[in-house]
Amino acid sequence: MKSKDFLSIADLGREDIRLLIANAIDMKAEGWSSLLSNKVLVLMFEKPSLRTRVSFEIAMRQLGGHCLYLSPDEVRLGKRESVPDAARVLSRYANAIVARTFSHQTLEILADHADIPVINALSDLEHPCQALADLLTIYENKETLEGITLAYIGDGNNVAHSLMLAASLCGMHFRIASPRDYQVQEQILQLAQDFAAGSGSEIYCTEEPRLAVTDADVVYTDVWASMGQENEADQRHQVFTGYQVNDELLSLARQDAILMHPLPAHHGEEIAENILYSPQSVAFDQAENRMHAQKALLAEILGGLEIPLSNLQ
Ligand code: CP
Ligand code: NVA
């Protein structure tokens, strides 16, 4: 990995990703081990979570390590205690910090002042652990990442940013359809285009969902209002009408296309009622794969596991 921390999916190179997916596949088959038996992970969250918290806690237990969860009210980062001081204190107790923050800058300050690795468990800018599990899920279904076309429909948010960077690193084609004022950030698009130039992936941004989805291998969506944007939900609902992934839109994708969502889902908004339970949906595999992908990540960050347990074909 490029740094001690995992704040962005761009902290990984293409070879790191290949290695993590290979190890995640092996760990998924193997289950429990004692690789991290003397390690402690602190989870410090400013926002709620089901998947991220539970998958990290169980991943750590399955690797023989320990976890400690600090809820938003307990720490009150930047209010009860400064972010640098929290980083310094936790560095005296734990082996790594997994943090979910509102501002991405909070993560950067944490990482700058912590002697131990900091892992991004979602910020306003990125959700790299989700992207890692998504790549694993796509690989399991398509047996390759290179040349696969992913169409993302909806808000150009944290999930979209990490996916766009992940795709461009791995030679996947990435199409995104978002309303004009809700597109991905320019600096992320620029970075993705730089990666794409080296990997052969193509990036296409549009306001028209049908253009993005036509003949895609993967159709992906996420909520229209992310955590922290609840007061914009009504206005966003109006702007995003027409960006719902439903049977009609999905029928434009390849016949063997898979449907992805990071969850939690707002049924009847970004995703039509019941479509998450269709045979094309892999949303619950994605949720499961959070744990396997994070086991591979923790093994690398805390266990120094750099040699692939097996090789991807
Ligand atoms: N997908 C995801 O990160 O879910 P949680 O917010 O429940 O952790
Ligand atoms: N974009 C969503 C993802 C939740 C997993 C959010 O930030 O709330």
Q: Clarify whether residues 212 and 137 are in a common domain.
A: yes
Strands (E), the chain: 40-45, 66-70, 96-100, 118-120, 149-153, 173-177, 203-206, 218-221, 258-260
Query: What's the total number of domains in the chain?
Result: 2
Q: Which of 1, 44, 42 is nearest to 19 (CA)?
A: 1
How many angstroms is it from 195 CA to the middle of ligand 2? 24
How many angstroms is it from 99 CA to the middle of ligand 2? 14
* CATH number of the domain to which 251 belongs: 3.40.50.1370
Q: How far is CA 91 from CA 73, 88, 197, in A?
A: 20, 5, 38
Please tell me the predicted confidence (pLDDT) of residue 249: 98
Ligand closest to CA 158: 2
Q: Clarify whether residues 58 and 144 are in a common domain.
A: no
Asked whether residue 27 is assigned to any structural domain, the reply reads yes
How many angstroms is it from 171 CA to the middle of ligand 2? 25
Q: Which atom of ligand 2 is nearest to the CA of 228?
A: 8
**Ligand 1 atom 6, closest CA:** 49
pTM of the model: 0.96
Name residue 42's beta-bridge partners. 68, 97
pLDDT tens sequence across 66-105: 999 999 999 899 999 999 999 999 999 999 999 999 999 9
Contact 117, 185 (CB under 8 A): no
Asked whether residue 312 is assigned to any structural domain, the reply reads no
Low-confidence ranges of the chain (pLDDT < 50): 307-309, 311-313
Can you read off the two tokens belonging to residue 233?
């939900």
In what helix (H) or strand (E) does residue 113 lie, and over which residues does it extend? helix 104-113
Asked whether residue 240 is assigned to any structural domain, the reply reads yes
pLDDT tens sequence across 171-220: 999 999 999 999 999 999 999 999 999 999 999 999 999 999 999 999 99
Q: Which of 223, 235, 229 is nearest to 267 (CA)?
A: 223
Ligand closest to CA 120: 1
Give phi and psi for 295, each to the nearest 5: -60, -45
